[in-house]
Amino acid sequence: MKKTKLIKDFNEQELSDLCKSLDFPKFHGTQIYKWLFQKKCNSFNEMTNVPQQLKEKINTNYIIDCLKIFKKNKSKIDNTTKFLLETHDKRYIETVSMIDENRHTVCISSQIGCNVDCDFCATGKMGITRNLSSGEITEQLLIVNKHIDKKITNVVFMGMGEPFLNYNNVINAANNFSNPKGFNLSTKKITISTAGILPQIKKFISENQKFKLAISLNASNDKSRNTIMPINKKWNISSILNEIKKYKFNKHRVIMFEYVLLAGINDRYEDAMELSKMLKNISCKINLIPFNEIYGQYKRPSINSINSFAKVLHENKGQYRVFVRWSKGEDIDAACGQLATNSNE
């Protein structure tokens, strides 16, 4: 029988429990965890301080690697690389490496496809196939680490899928990234984005998760948001903001609002004024993202319109900070909103 169980789906405690269930001391679980996520081994045979009998028992039922590179594209306009990765069940996901001076950010996928169906997003047009396991999410970072010769400094869950509809696996993977025995990234360097899945936003806040939270807002009122993000009809802007106000802010833990600028849809002076008023008393970052064109009715606003929108926010400044985030990797469809595969038939 073909092995499909992924050992990377286990966290440190679960690996310790597995070792105990196989009649070996629990501390071997921590050893295995370090080999997987700190030393980044590709074979059980590399685990030199783990008993041979234990390795053989685990190797009988579990695999270490479950993703392989199907295609790799390097941008000609900036230091961005997009990986098309094949899963064990012959599905495909995309992971993006973006290097800018001293920062190396990896954009991680959490699902194969997405069922939130934002009207301007290529991934949303795919529909949903399945959630990725925590091991499949974690392995994306391992692959980038192996093939890009630059230390990873930041992780953003802004790839394919809605992270909060795969909440437990996303949080488990994020914990692997921040665990000192794993990747050892600071929690403030890990950002999890959501289109506004209210029950999971509440859970994230109640659990006092240390990772950064980003909300894909993309509109300043419910009428506009209903049009481009159907999920708003279930959880509208005010319900999200009411929950966000419970968030414990500090200088290292600032909520982020992502706002994709769409020409003639949400980029008017009135939209900027409404957005400013809405977020004025929330300590946050507003990331303005000029739309990355894919297909369909939506267009990127002109440079003048983008700058004018940002200027209105600056001039009516509250507790927020405003940034215009120009996407990377547009020539290889690796930019925000462009991730999609057509290999999941």
Active site amino acids: 94, 336
Give kind and range of the element (H or E) at residue 94: strand 92-100
Cβ-contact 256, 191 below 8 angstroms: yes
DSSP state letter for 100 = E
Rg (CA), the chain: 21
**Assigned token pair, 59:** 């190797």
DSSP state letter for 332 = G
**Assigned token pair, 185:** 């990234």
**Assigned token pair, 128:** 């949903």
Q: CA-to-CA distance for 336 and 334, rounded, in angstroms?
A: 7
- At 236, the amino acid letter reads N
Give kind and range of the element (H or E) at residue 192: strand 190-194
Q: What angle do CA 219, 154, 71 make, to 5 degrees?
A: 90
Per DSSP, the three-state class of 212 is strand
**Token pair 């930041």: residue:** 154
Cβ-contact 95, 112 below 8 angstroms: no
Q: CA-to-CA distance for 311 and 314, rounded, in angstroms?
A: 5
- Reference 293, options 266, 327, 259, 269; nearest CA is 327
